[in-house]
Amino acid sequence: MFQRSAVVRTGLMCLPLMLGACSVTPYRPTQPIERAVPAPAAEVVEAAPPLAPPVPDGSASSPSVDPDAPAIAAPSDSLILERVALTARRMVGIPYRYGGIDPRGFDCSGLVFYAYREAGVTVARTSREQLHASQPLNVDQALPGDLVFSRTSKRAWHVGIYLGDQRFIHAPSTGRAVAIERLDDEYYLRHRIQIRRLDALIIDP
The verdict on residue 86 lying in a domain is yes
Number of domains the chain contains: 1
* pLDDT tens over the chain, length 205 residues: 545 544 445 444 544 444 443 333 333 434 433 344 444 444 433 333 333 333 333 333 333 334 344 444 434 468 999 999 999 999 999 999 999 999 999 999 999 999 999 999 999 999 999 999 999 999 899 999 999 999 988 888 999 999 999 999 999 999 999 999 999 998 888 888 899 999 888 765 5
Quick check: 166 and 188 in contact, CB under 8 A? no
Q: Is 191 a catalytic residue?
A: no
Please tell me the pTM assigned to this model.
0.63
In a domain, 61, yes or no: no
> Is 132 one of the annotated active-site residues of the chain?
no
- Under 8 Å between Cβ of 61 and 113: no
Q: Which of 14, 22, 132, 170 is catalytic?
A: 170
Candidate list 14, 22, 132, 158, residue with the active-site label: 158
Residue 131 belongs to some domain of the structure: yes
Report the pLDDT value the prediction gives residue 200, as an integer from 0 to 100: 83
Number of CB atoms found within 10 A of residue 73's CB: 17
Buried/exposed code over 128-161 (b: 16+ C-beta within 10 A; e: otherwise): bbbbebbeebeeeebbbbbbbbbeeeeeebbbbb
Is 118 among the domain residues?
yes
Annotated catalytic residue 170: yes
Residue 188 lies in a domain: yes
Q: Is residue 1 part of a domain?
A: no
Q: Which residue range forms the structural domain that includes residue 153?
A: 66-200
Q: What is the pLDDT of residue 149?
A: 96
The b-or-e profile of 96-114 (16+ CB within 10 A means b, else e) is bbbbbbbeebbbbbbbbbb
List, in sequence order, every residue forming a beta bridge with 135; answer none if it has no partner. 197
Instruction: Give the whole-angstrom CA distance, residue 63 versus residue 133.
Output: 15
* 142 within some domain: yes
Among 14, 22, 108, 132, the active-site one is: 108
Q: Residue 96 sits in a domain of what CATH number?
A: 3.90.1720.10
Residue 48 lies in a domain: no
